[in-house]
Amino acid sequence: MNKDTFINKFCNDLRNSFDTVKFKDETIYITHKGFDIHLPNDLYLEYMRDGNYNKLLNTYIDLIENQIMQQCHKIDIDRILPVVRKQGFAGKNDDMFIKKELGADLYTYFVEDMGEVWRYITHQDAMNNDLSLSEIEEYAQNNINKFSNILVPLDEELKIYMLKFENSIGSNIFFNTQIQQQIKKISNKKDALIAFPNETTFLVCSNNSVYQDVLSEIVEFDPGIEKTISKRIYKIEDGKLSFADNKETKLRLVK
């Protein structure tokens, strides 16, 4: 076959295996699973030397798939964890990460615990690993339940609770099933107040105006040794969050 026929056939056959295939400036460009690859522009010469079209096609399909696999990050599902973060915390890159609304301005993001660092899981990671959001949530819940901690009052009279033990996952132990059950007991099965001043711990108490004022003061004067999550106070009911502090944006009329 001549060169034009070869290029058209080769591109069409590649389209059966990859997301996007384009031919431009004598080069075949391939996009698949978010990765861009271009093939050498002497493919027709290779075909002319060997004459075996199917062998050449299968060879390059294997080469492309191997190159993509080498670039794809393999997620360790046993290390997926949920984390509490404020909406948009990652700035302009925030949309690339897998997340789920927790309530108010807080979201559940998902990370892979890699020891010294957490790797936030992206939509591309999920696609490359053939993982759905529900599967990521399930793995994250199972893994967070492997950790243990308890909530204890700050003192005998002030029934505002915080984590008793420091641990590597900090405030994200909030998602632990046993911790959720303890929160329900603290709130007497009603809505409770909760705050996430930083990544180390969170605070929870029954919902009343006195505790809300104290909680607000604690959060406001948090030393900020660890990264801040939020200065707001939230209500939690059936695992869902909403604002409790009723802060409103004050508008000033400029004449």
> Can you tell me the distance from the alpha carbon of 28 to that of 254, in angstroms, rounded to the nearest whole number?
59
Largest CA distance in the chain: 88
> Can you tell me the distance from the alpha carbon of 111 to that of 120, in angstroms, rounded to the nearest whole number?
4
pLDDT at 32: 82
**pLDDT: which is higher, 166 or 212:** 212
Identity of residue 194: I
Percentage above 90 pLDDT, the chain: 54
pLDDT at 250: 40
Query: Which residue, chain included where needed, has tokens 């006195």?
Result: 210
Question: In this structure, are strands 106-113 and 118-120 parallel, antiparallel, or unpaired?
Answer: antiparallel
pLDDT at 246: 65
pLDDT at 247: 60
Question: 80-134, pLDDT tens digit by residue?
Answer: 999 999 988 888 888 989 999 999 999 999 999 988 788 899 998 898 888 999 9
Q: Is the pLDDT of residue 251 over 50?
A: no
Over residues 232-250, mean pLDDT = 78
Could you tell me the CA-to-CA distances from 53 to 56, 58, 217 in Å, in that order? 5, 9, 74
Structure tokens, 143: 């893994």
**Banded pLDDT at 168 (limits 50, 70, 90):** confident
pLDDT at 227: 79
Q: Is the pLDDT of residue 177 over 60?
A: yes
Nearest Cα to Cα of residue 90 among 116, 110, 71, 115: 110
